[in-house]
């Protein structure tokens, strides 16, 4: 059996693989906010980014390493290809963290070796120990991944893993990179690695997987039964293509079915000891934060965190739940932090009361951020009688999108109706505070606003998604708007909330424009798609 920590370690890659979701780019402040919440959630490892990809990614990993976790918090990890430049950059980025890890990888499947790396198996077997040893010379904690392990020749895989462990890797990750495996196949692969790699007891076995066939969570749970003790997952299952295994589903599956999994850890059936260190009551809040900041809405019927996850429409179900919730619910909604709390705050409430409630919700704001949040709260309280926790979450989640903005919205005004052509007047300010105003006509008020903003910004794009939903119930509910723009095949999302959905749409559009400009100025590379060129690759 591989080195066993006695429970399942949760390795969260929302800020790295999750951010690779089309349109889900995050700025530094957003990444920091998510990392702080992941620490509160209790994840064991935060993969904060891919430092060599861009200056922005390097800065984000370095800032998270410096400010999140501490000696009692999570390990801060950075991703690096099997290249000295990548690994050195990663080491520099994670240096401030009390607990740090370099996660380096190289492909092992024949299809990747032939078509992507243009290398032989022998060459890869030479690269792996040298690069792992180099990483180990810079940090004590090194993880090695065999990219596309699910389609690799097992015999070659065993050789690579043995070499990586011998060179100093203390965690070995087995990725189902393209989401091709079925649970029985994936479980068999983990078992075979445990059986045929002679030094596997010196490393923790980890798994990473994508959800292309909808099997990622099932694959991971089977891997746990076969000895995997680290799961690499994301909040809401976001990530490349169809996404990653969802953290909330994995954690709650092991929580609810603990009696089933206990024997695989050598425990008694009824052992009450949790199988992970996750604070489950933080799950809903974390899901909402990630959804708000990435602009990736959670589908209503999503397990654990979807809005319908604890809703009952059928009369038979409603009757059963009213008599005893256990008739149709296997998870207590309070276990994942889902409540209908309303706060007794209004337009007469003071700054201290608002700060105290935000702290209870897990938000630690600086003095400047609190002042801005309080101003937005007072503005909302003038328009809305009942303020809910979800309203406060919407205010704070949008607020962290503002730093590093190229454009800021100063005014939006529309006229429309059944006998009028929708017309919008908007004022936009640039980084220097210079304001520009224009008007535009559209098929509706939102279309007119977007046309006017595009005319002022001068950044060509195509609006491909506009969605709006209410944060809470009632005619005075805040409306959450998500907008997604496309340029040159890349997607950029923006999110905002306001009691006026047209204002929310305008701000969401500006947020998306700011992401577009930021990504254009901070060119990055993709760790799975981009190889190190001959000019960049060191002699190995």
Question: Which is nearest to 296 in space by CA: 2, 17, 18?
Answer: 18
How confident is residue 1, by pLDDT bands cut at 50, 70 and 90? low
Tell me the mean pLDDT in the region 392-409. Answer: 71
Q: How remote is the C-alpha of 187 from its chain's centroid?
A: 26
Given a cut of 50, whether residue 234 has pLDDT beyond it is yes
Helix 247-256 to helix 283-294 angle, to the nearest 10 degrees?
170
Could you tell me the CA-to-CA distances from 377 to 289, 348, 367 in Å, in that order?
A: 18, 11, 15
Rounded Cα gap, residues 309 and 282, in angstroms: 16
* Neighbour tally for 424: CB within 10 Å: 26
Rounded Cα gap, residues 425 and 395, in angstroms: 25
Q: How remote is the C-alpha of 125 from its chain's centroid?
A: 32
How confident is residue 127, by pLDDT bands cut at 50, 70 and 90? very high
Residue-wise pLDDT for 339-397, tens only, equals 755 455 766 677 888 888 777 766 777 787 788 888 888 887 787 766 777 777 777 76
How confident is residue 179, by pLDDT bands cut at 50, 70 and 90? very high
Residue-wise pLDDT for 155-165, tens only, equals 999 999 999 99
Question: Which of 157-166, 183-192, 457-466 is least confident?
Answer: 457-466
Q: Is there a contact between 69 and 113 (Cβ–Cβ < 8 Å)?
A: no
Could you tell me the CA-to-CA distances from 366 to 283, 328, 336, 373 in Å, in that order?
A: 24, 43, 27, 10
pLDDT given for residue 365 in this prediction: 75
Strand bridging mode 171-176 / 204-209: parallel
Mean pLDDT of the chain: 87
Residues facing 79 on adjacent strands: 103
178 DSSP 8-state letter: T
Given a cut of 50, whether residue 528 has pLDDT beyond it is yes
How confident is residue 490, by pLDDT bands cut at 50, 70 and 90? confident
Rounded Cα gap, residues 385 and 259, in angstroms: 46
Question: Which of 71-75, 151-155, 368-372 is least confident?
Answer: 368-372
DSSP state letters, 230-299:
EEEEBGGG--STT-B-BHHHHHHHHHHTHHHHGGGGT--TT----SS---GGGHHHHHHHHHHHHT-PPP
What is the rounded radius of gyration, in angstroms, for the C-alpha atoms of the chain? Answer: 24
Could you tell me the CA-to-CA distances from 326 to 57, 252, 384 in Å, in that order?
A: 46, 16, 36
Tell me the mean pLDDT in the region 388-417. Answer: 78
DSSP state letters, 406-472:
S-EEEEEEEEEETTEEEEEEEEEE-TT--EEEEEEEESSHHHHHHHHHHHHH----EEEEEEEEESS
Q: Is the Cα torsion angle 233, 239, 240, 245 positive or negative in sign?
A: positive
pLDDT given for residue 451 in this prediction: 96
How confident is residue 61, by pLDDT bands cut at 50, 70 and 90? very high
326 DSSP 8-state letter: G
pLDDT given for residue 390 in this prediction: 72
Rounded Cα gap, residues 6 and 91, in angstroms: 28
Any idea what the Cα angle at residue 468 is, between residues 464 and 472, rounded to 5°?
160
Q: Is there a contact between 177 and 236 (Cβ–Cβ < 8 Å)?
A: no
Rounded Cα gap, residues 534 and 532, in angstroms: 7
Helix (H, G, I), strand (E, B) or coil at 202: helix
pLDDT given for residue 385 in this prediction: 67
Rounded Cα gap, residues 516 and 5, in angstroms: 42
Torsion angle, CA of 310/330/281/400, rounded to 10 degrees? -40
pLDDT given for residue 319 in this prediction: 47
Rounded Cα gap, residues 162 and 193, in angstroms: 10
pLDDT given for residue 376 in this prediction: 80
pTM of the predicted model, to two decimals?
0.84
Given a cut of 60, whether residue 331 has pLDDT beyond it is yes
**pLDDT > 90: what percent of the chain?**
61
How confident is residue 225, by pLDDT bands cut at 50, 70 and 90? very high
Residue-wise pLDDT for 15-35, tens only, equals 999 988 877 778 888 899 899
How confident is residue 540, by pLDDT bands cut at 50, 70 and 90? very low
**pLDDT > 70: what percent of the chain?**
87
pLDDT given for residue 318 in this prediction: 44
Rounded Cα gap, residues 389 and 373, in angstroms: 13
pLDDT given for residue 523 in this prediction: 63
* Neighbour tally for 266: CB within 10 Å: 10
Q: Is there a contact between 505 and 483 (Cβ–Cβ < 8 Å)?
A: yes
Q: For the chain, list the domains and their CATH numbers.
A: 9-294 (3.20.20.70), 408-521 (3.30.160.270)
Q: Is there a contact between 97 and 139 (Cβ–Cβ < 8 Å)?
A: no
Could you tell me the CA-to-CA distances from 219 to 182, 184, 246, 289, 385 in Å, in that order?
A: 6, 8, 12, 27, 47
Given a cut of 60, whether residue 476 has pLDDT beyond it is yes
Given a cut of 90, whether residue 445 has pLDDT beyond it is yes
The dihedrals phi and psi of 10, each to the nearest 5 degrees, come to: -105, 115
Q: Which residues of 130-142 are buried (b: 16+ CB within 10 A; e: fewer)?
A: ebbbbbbebbebb
Q: Which two tokens stand for residue 85?
A: 């430049």
Rounded Cα gap, residues 183 and 187, in angstroms: 6
Question: Which is nearest to 285 in space by CA: 354, 217, 339?
Answer: 339
Residue-wise pLDDT for 252-307, tens only, equals 999 999 999 999 999 999 999 999 999 999 999 899 889 888 888 898 899 999 88
Rounded Cα gap, residues 313 and 498, in angstroms: 29
């Amino acid at each position: 059996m591989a080195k066993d920590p006695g429970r399942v370690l949760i390795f969260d890659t929302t800020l790295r693989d999750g951010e690779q979701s089309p349109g889900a780019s995050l700025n530094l402040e957003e990444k920091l906010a998510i990392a702080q919440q992941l620490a509160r959630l209790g994840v064991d490892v935060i993969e904060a980014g891919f430092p060599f990809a861009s200056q922005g990614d390097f800065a984000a990993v370095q800032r998270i390493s410096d400010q999140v976790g501490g000696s009692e918090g999570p390990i801060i990890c950075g991703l690096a290809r099997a290249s000295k430049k990548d690994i050195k950059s990663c080491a520099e980025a994670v240096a401030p963290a009390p607990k740090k890890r370099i996660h380096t990888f190289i492909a092992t499947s024949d299809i990747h070796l032939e078509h992507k790396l243009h290398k032989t198996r022998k060459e890869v077997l030479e690269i792996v120990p040298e690069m792992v040893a180099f990483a180990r010379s810079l940090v004590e904690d090194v993880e090695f991944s065999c990219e596309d392990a699910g389609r690799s020749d097992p015999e070659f895989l065993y050789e690579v893993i043995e070499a990586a462990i011998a060179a100093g890797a203390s965690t070995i990750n087995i990725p189902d990179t393209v989401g091709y495996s079925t649970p029985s196949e994936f479980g068999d692969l983990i078992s075979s690695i445990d059986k045929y790699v002679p030094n596997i007891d010196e490393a923790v076995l980890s798994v990473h997987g994508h959800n292309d066939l909808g099997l990622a969570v099932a694959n991971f749970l089977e891997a746990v039964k076969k000895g995997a003790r680290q799961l690499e997952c994301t909040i809401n299952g976001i990530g490349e293509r169809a996404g990653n295994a969802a953290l909330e589903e994995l954690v709650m599956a092991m929580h609810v079915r603990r009696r089933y999994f206990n024997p695989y850890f050598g425990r008694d059936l009824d052992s009450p000891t949790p199988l992970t260190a996750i604070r489950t009551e933080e799950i809903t809040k974390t899901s909402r934060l990630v959804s708000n900041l990435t602009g990736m809405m959670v589908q209503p019927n999503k397990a654990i965190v979807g809005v319908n996850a604890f809703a009952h429409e059928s009369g038979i179900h409603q009757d059963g739940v009213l008599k005893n919730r256990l008739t149709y619910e296997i998870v207590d909604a309070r276990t994942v932090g889902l409540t209908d709390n309303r706060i007794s705050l209004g337009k007469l409430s003071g700054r201290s009361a608002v700060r105290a409630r935000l702290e209870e919700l897990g938000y630690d704001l600086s003095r400047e951020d609190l002042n801005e949040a309080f101003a937005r709260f007072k503005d909302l309280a003038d328009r809305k009688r009942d303020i809910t926790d979800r309203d406060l979450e919407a205010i704070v989640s949008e607020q962290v999108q503002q730093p590093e903005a190229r454009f800021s919205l100063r005014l939006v005004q529309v006229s429309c109706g059944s006998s009028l052509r929708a017309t919008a007047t908007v004022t936009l300010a640039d980084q220097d505070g210079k304001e520009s105003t224009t008007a535009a006509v559209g098929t509706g008020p939102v279309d007119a606003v977007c046309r006017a903003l595009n005319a002022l910004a001068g950044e060509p794009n195509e609006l491909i998604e506009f969605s709006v939903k209410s944060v809470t119930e009632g005619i005075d509910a805040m409306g959450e708007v998500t907008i997604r723009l496309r340029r040159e095949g890349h997607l950029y999302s923006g999110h905002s909330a306001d009691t006026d959905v047209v204002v929310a749409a305008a701000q969401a559009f500006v947020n998306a424009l700011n992401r577009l400009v930021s990504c254009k100025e901070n060119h990055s590379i993709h760790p799975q798609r981009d190889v190190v060129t001959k000019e960049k690759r060191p002699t190995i």
